[in-house]
């Protein structure tokens, strides 16, 4: 699988490259500044791109804007954006097209190699991945989070990360039946239609958070 990386910090850039190569990804291009991102993505058309939100020269939203522009030129181009902090505005903007093949993770998640690689694989496969911490903060800002139980919030976070019922059950050490019940409760409390499709479930959550 062919990957483009855009990251200005040398250590993280090298770390991302080594992690991806260890899992048999082919890193075909690495850039360290905003102006280089869009032409690189359009030229290489990678299977997935891993981009920092803030890149030189302005360190504002160069990576995000390049991602959005690239997907306008190449619809569905898989993009996984990394951010140092929870920035809900950036998350909403990137995920607003609802087409899938996008993700938004905090950089801290990279230290959990299995979680990072899982996110890369899901985005490359057309899925949608959103950092659970971003989901939690958006819930707190947009709706009273106490409509959900603590366990339901955990399940919602796992759903936002694009995980299936079986994967959620394994991570939370509960049965798939229990997970299904929690998900039904979440959709009922949030007024969302149930869906068996993993990507649609994430998009339903995002639709709720954007409403």
Q: Average pLDDT for residues 119-135, to the nearest whole number?
A: 87
Q: What are the CA-CA distances from residue 86 to residues 24, 60, 91 (Å)?
A: 30, 14, 9
Residue tagged 């080594």 (tokens): 18
Q: Which of 63-77, 82-96, 167-181 has the lowest mean pLDDT?
A: 82-96
Q: How many CB atoms lie within 10 A of CB 47?
A: 18
Name the nearest CA neighbour of 146 among 189, 206, 202.
189
Burial status of residue 52 (CB atoms within 10 A of its CB: 0-12, 13-18, 19 or more): buried
Torsion-angle region of 24 (φ positive above 0: left; ψ -120 to 50: alpha; else: beta): left
Q: How much is the pLDDT for 207?
A: 61
Place of tokens 């490259």: 17
* pLDDT number for residue 94: 74
Tokens of 127: 């899925």
Structural domains in the chain plus CATH codes: 2-129 (3.40.50.2300), 134-210 (1.10.10.10)
| Whether residue 73 has pLDDT greater than 70 | yes
Look at 41-45, 161-165, 178-182, 200-204 and tell me which has the smallest mean pLDDT.
200-204
Q: How far apart are the first and last CA of the chain?
A: 36
Whether the predicted pLDDT of 182 surpasses 70: yes
Angle of helix 198-210 versus helix 132-142 axis, rounded to 10: 40
pLDDT at 113 over 90: yes
- Burial environment of residue 57 by CB neighbours within 10 A (0 to 12, 13 to 18, 19 or more): exposed
SS3 208: helix
More confident residue, 70 or 148: 70
Confidence of residue 2 (pLDDT cuts 50, 70, 90): very high
How far, in Å, are 134, 191, 207 from residue 211 at the CA level? 15, 11, 6
């Amino acid at each position: 699988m062919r990957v483009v990386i855009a990251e200005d910090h040398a250590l993280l850039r090298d770390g991302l490259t080594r992690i991806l190569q260890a899992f048999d990804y082919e890193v075909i291009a690495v850039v360290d500044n905003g102006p280089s991102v869009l032409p690189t993505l359009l030229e290489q058309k990678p299977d997935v791109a891993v981009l920092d939100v803030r890149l030189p020269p302005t360190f504002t939203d160069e990576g995000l804007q390049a991602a959005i522009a690239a997907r306008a030129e190449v619809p569905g181009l898989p993009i996984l954006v990394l951010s140092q902090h929870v920035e809900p505005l950036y998350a909403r903007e990137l995920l607003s097209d609802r087409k899938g093949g996008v993700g938004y993770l905090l950089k801290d998640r990279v230290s959990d190699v299995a979680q990072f690689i899982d996110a890369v694989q899901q985005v490359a496969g057309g899925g949608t991945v959103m950092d659970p911490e971003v989901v939690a903060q958006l819930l707190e800002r947009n709706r009273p989070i106490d409509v959900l139980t603590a366990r339901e919030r955990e399940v919602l976070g796992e759903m936002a990360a694009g995980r299936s019922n079986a994967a959620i059950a394994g991570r939370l050490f509960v049965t798939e039946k229990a997970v299904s019940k929690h998900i039904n409760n979440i959709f009922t409390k949030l007024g969302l239609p149930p869906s068996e499709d993993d990507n649609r479930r994430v998009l339903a959550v995002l639709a709720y958070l954007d409403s």
